[in-house]
Amino acid sequence: MTKNILIAGATGKTGRILTQELVDQGHSVTALVRDGSDTDVLPNGTHLRRADLTNLQPGICDGADVVIFAAGSGGSTGPEMTEKVDRQGAMRLVDLARDAGAGRFVMLSSIGADQSDPSGDLAHYLKAKHDADEHLKASGLIYAILRPVALTDAGRSDDVILGDDVDMSAKASRADVAHVLALAATTGECDGQALNMQSA
39 DSSP assignment: G
Q: What is the dihedral sign for C-alpha 51, 56, 62, 67? A: positive
Give the mean pLDDT of 178-184.
98
Domain CATH for 195: 3.40.50.720
Confidence of residue 36 (pLDDT cuts 50, 70, 90): confident
Q: Which helix (H) or strand (E) holds 192?
A: none
Query: Which residue range(s) make up the domain with 115?
Result: 4-199
Specify which residues 108 forms β-bridges with: 146
Is residue 160 a contact partner of residue 80, using CB atoms and an 8 Å limit? no
Query: How high is the pLDDT of residue 122?
Result: 86
Give the mean pLDDT of 130-137.
98
pLDDT digits (tens, 9 = 90+) for 55-82: 999 999 999 999 999 998 765 667 899 9
Rounded to whole angstroms, how far apart are CA atoms 139 and 125?
A: 21
pTM for this entry:
0.96
Nearest Cα to Cα of residue 149 among 197, 191, 97: 197
Number of domain units in the chain = 1
